[in-house]
Amino acid sequence: MPSRSISAHAAEEEKRVLSLKPVLAPRHGKYGEHPHHGYDEWPGDGPLVVLLHGGYWRYDRMHLTPFAAYLARQGFSVLLPGFRRSGGAGGYPATFDDVARIVDELPAGRPYVLAGHCSGGHLALWSAARGLLPAGSRWHSTRLPTAVLALAPITDLAATRRDDLSDGAALQLMGAEEFTERLPMVDPVTLLPEAGTTGVRTVLLHGEVDEEVPRGQFTDYAAVHRDLETVVLPGTGHYALIEPDTPAAADVAAVLWRLCGEWDDNSARGCS
């Protein structure tokens, strides 16, 4: 993470959550040949939640395993995949290739929430917008998530670059010379203005006192996504959203259950 000025409370929260001991999943697997093409799974009969981890597209998924296990205890079936990350084998286009592959290879017909935290939220919002890409794009798809829950997401890569979040993370993901050219293919704020919606039920949830992602990332996205629902948790920071057994985590689980209830209301198939 970058050298930045944050409150003592935010620094303590970040340290506490990111130092949680990883939780071993009951099932592991591979979806490709690269070492990052692995996943952890907490299988069950409940609604399916696919979690995309944060870490500014650089870090691995282990810090999210405690939260994945927490959601499993709440009755969800949870899939936590890895993907190639910038700073190594990933970045544009490999990171996006992997995320597209992950969701495209899910069993056809089973509804699921695609949830992501921070940069994982960016990837979740991008996945929901793939139907807006040109038909000839390598990532265009009409097979979209049933719903998206973006937790304190990065939504605007140009603003991420401008604000130098996490010491140039956006440039590392996109490449400096190709940044502007690539932006329309992978940036949620850039993809939305003409259509005004992805057509995917989408909730953006963030903490009122998030000191990691600037508030403009949330409000600017809401301004171009006409049917977005925004949920703000009072007194809550960036990392508390993924801290197990806390009021914020319970609020996240409640939104997931509400989204599932909406599927039950509109589909005899339900969400499990």
Using 50, 70 and 90 to split pLDDT, how confident is the model at 108? confident
Question: Average pLDDT, stretch 139-160?
Answer: 97
Q: Cis peptide leading into 26, omega within 30 of 0?
A: no
How would you list the strands of the sheet with 48-52, edge to edge?
27-30, 38-42, 77-81, 48-52, 112-117, 147-151, 201-207, 229-233
Q: Is the pLDDT of residue 103 over 60?
A: yes
Give the separation between CA 37 and CA 30, rounded to whole angstroms. 6
Number of domains in the chain: 1
On whether residue 24 sits in a domain, the answer given is yes
On whether residue 232 sits in a domain, the answer given is yes
Q: What is the pTM of this model?
A: 0.95
Phi then psi for residue 206, to 5 deg, are -145, 160
Its domain, for residue 143, covers: 12-266
Amino acid 272: pLDDT: 54
On whether residue 163 sits in a domain, the answer given is yes
On whether residue 3 sits in a domain, the answer given is no
On whether residue 22 sits in a domain, the answer given is yes
Phi then psi for residue 9, to 5 deg, are -65, -45
On whether residue 5 sits in a domain, the answer given is no
CATH of the domain at 94: 3.40.50.1820
Q: Is the pLDDT of residue 6 over 80?
A: yes
On whether residue 2 sits in a domain, the answer given is no
Amino acid 271: pLDDT: 55
On whether residue 6 sits in a domain, the answer given is no
Task: Give 255-270 pLDDT, tens digit per residue.
Answer: 999 999 898 666 534 4
Task: Give 169-213 pLDDT, tens digit per residue.
Answer: 999 999 999 999 999 999 999 999 999 999 999 999 999 999 999
Structure tokens at 26: 């009951």
Helix axes 119-128, 94-104, angle to 10 degrees: 60
